[in-house]
Amino acid sequence: MRRVTVAPPRFTAAAFLIVAAAACATSPHPKPGSSPEREAVACLETLKPTDSISTVIKMSVEPLDTGVVLPPDFEGLLVEDFRRAFRAPSRLSLSVVMGTQPCDSLGSRCAGGSLTAAAVAYATVHDDGRLSDIAVVDASLTPSLADSVASALRAVSTAREGPPTGVAELIRVVMRIRPEENVDSVPTLRRIFVAKVPHYDLPFRYAAMPAAGINASYPFTARLAGVGDSVTIAFTVDADGVVAAESVELVQARYRDFVSSVLKALGETRFHPAYLGDCPVATRMSQRFVFRLPAEVSP
């Protein structure tokens, strides 16, 4: 049989964000608005933190296209512009827990856990200082932080304060806003604000996929074209075991059809939630999906 050599269309970040929301929103396990979620939140609120960890919320900037090299000082200038426009929320309603060391060899069980605040932002920086295609992923299910990040990027764009793009007319970037407990390891240019987050000396277990796994089907068009792909997705599993649509981030992929397949599968999957002590909690995870064409069988 003659193999089709035309590959599916390449993926774009803006298209991904739209597909992510649609795929997860159509989950047959919608996020409950009644008792299970309220019970999970109430359970977390009954736990007494051991102490509070002072953590720096930092920002890093990377090109979306791995073949692009950012101009000198581009990251530092963009972070500086962002920091001037950013206003830290007066209140962070945190619910996503991450494990704290020591953890087991697989990293799935830890001696303790702490709440976290994080977001991922996408934007296109133009040579005139404007930012377009701004989109924010709410990684820690903290709307106030995600809204503040989006507002700061819009303000940078309005003031046309984006950094010079060098010889390129535009550069598409991803900006990761995340915590770092080791304050001394964060360069001043990357620091956004400092937060104190509760820490618990209770056994923590990360969320786990069901025994049947995540059934991401091989796209028919890709099979015809004879192409494979590797898709890495980061996402937040809520306390009820459902992937939160607003938290989905594409880490690595090449083709739209594979991404759509993975997002559809995630939207249909119910995870075993993470646990802090005896309480189900939300947590951040990542998963790599590898699509390989089956080897052709010789006659």
Q: Which residues of the chain have pLDDT under 50?
A: 1-15, 18-38, 296-299
Does 79 map to a domain? Answer: yes
Rounded to whole angstroms, the Cα distance separating 225 from 219 reads: 10
pTM: 0.84
Give the model's pLDDT for residue 109: 96
Measure CA 60 to chain center.
Answer: 14
Domain count, the chain: 2
Total Cβ atoms within 10 A of residue 139 = 26
* Token pair in block for residue 82: 């962002």
Give the gyration radius of the chain's Cα atoms.
21
Contact 134, 119 (CB under 8 A): no
pLDDT at 54: 86
Number of CB atoms found within 10 A of residue 215's CB: 11
Q: Specify the pLDDT at position 218.
A: 93
In this prediction, residue 185 carries a pLDDT of 77
State which of 144, 175, 201 marks the end of a domain: 201
> Is 20 a domain residue?
no
Residue 42's pLDDT is 74
What is the domain extent for residue 212?
26-46+205-291
Give the per-residue pLDDT at 118.
97
Q: Which among 155, 173, 201 is the end of a domain?
A: 201
C-alpha angle with apex 266: 61 to 12, nearest 5 degrees? Answer: 40
Determine the pLDDT at residue 90.
87
Is residue 172 assigned to a domain? yes
What CA–CA distance (Å, rounded) separates 14 from 85?
Answer: 23
Q: What is the DSSP string of 259-270?
A: HHHHHHHHHT--
Is the domain of 69 the same as that of 190?
yes
Same domain for 266 and 152: no
Per-residue confidence (pLDDT) for residue 161, from 0 to 100:
96
Residue after which a domain boundary falls, among 201, 224, 248: 201
CA angle 110, 116, 119 (to 5 degrees): 130
The C-alpha atoms of residue 144 and residue 161 are separated, in whole angstroms, by 24
pLDDT attached to residue 295: 64
Domain co-membership, 192 together with 56: yes
